[in-house]
A and B are shown apart, each in its own frame.
Chain A
Amino acid sequence: DQQVKQNSPSLSVQEGRISILNCDYTNSMFDYFLWYKKYPAEGPTFLISISSIKDKNEDGRFTVFLNKSAKHLSLHIVPSQPGDSAVYFCAAVFGNEKLTFGTGTRLTIIP
């Protein structure tokens, strides 16, 4: 039962353009969503989060949008930089329960 889905396994974006990574979820009880970034041979690193009571959260070049009615969130990176090339995981949590991760999207920034 995949409660958090990232339907795009990979995405390539030109340097300087906007990268948009998408995530869908099925459990309407999730109340907190997070994005993690993972480089090879390293553990995931927290990037940005959003509470279910908000629809947008911004941190520098990174913005997360939440559409609760569609059970969809997206991560926007603008402008994209070569160092952004990594695997991005969407994760969700309900209350004090475990983190549920998506399968990840590999983002490649083309110089």
Chain B
Amino acid sequence: DAGVTQSPTHLIKTRGQQVTLRCSPKSGHDTVSWYQQALGQGPQFIFQYYEEEERQRGNFPDRFSGHQFPNYSSELNVNALLLGDSALYLCASSLGVRVGTDTQYFGPGTRLTVL
């Protein structure tokens, strides 16, 4: 049973560029949440997707957008990259939209470096 997978593992971009990160949820899960973890910080909630719609959003600018596909996989897009966007981006999947549950499974993350 495959867990949550994310691609790519590492990514290097320059300021102003755009990036797309991908996530495949754990088998049987239908909800995907994205988190940003800056160095030395805890993960911060970006947004959550369920039934191909954004259901909740954290305190992130519109440069951060996402998408969920019919197979429940998801993409995180970041436009006009800033140096401060350098972080580990984590994807978590769950069954249903309740965020505060112990059944959220995290992927290994994508390490984004913006130069």
| A residues apposed to B, CB below 8 Å | 4, 6, 31-32, 34, 36, 41-46, 49, 89, 91-104
Contacts and interface: CB of A to CB of B under 8 A. Distances in A.
A99 B90 contact: no
A34 B100 contact: yes
Where chain B touches its partner, the secondary structure class is: loop
Interface string B20-53: 0000000000000101000011111100100000
B104 interface: yes
B4 interface: yes
A77 B102 CA distance: 19
Contacts of A104: 41-42
Nearest to A48: B102
B82 interface: no
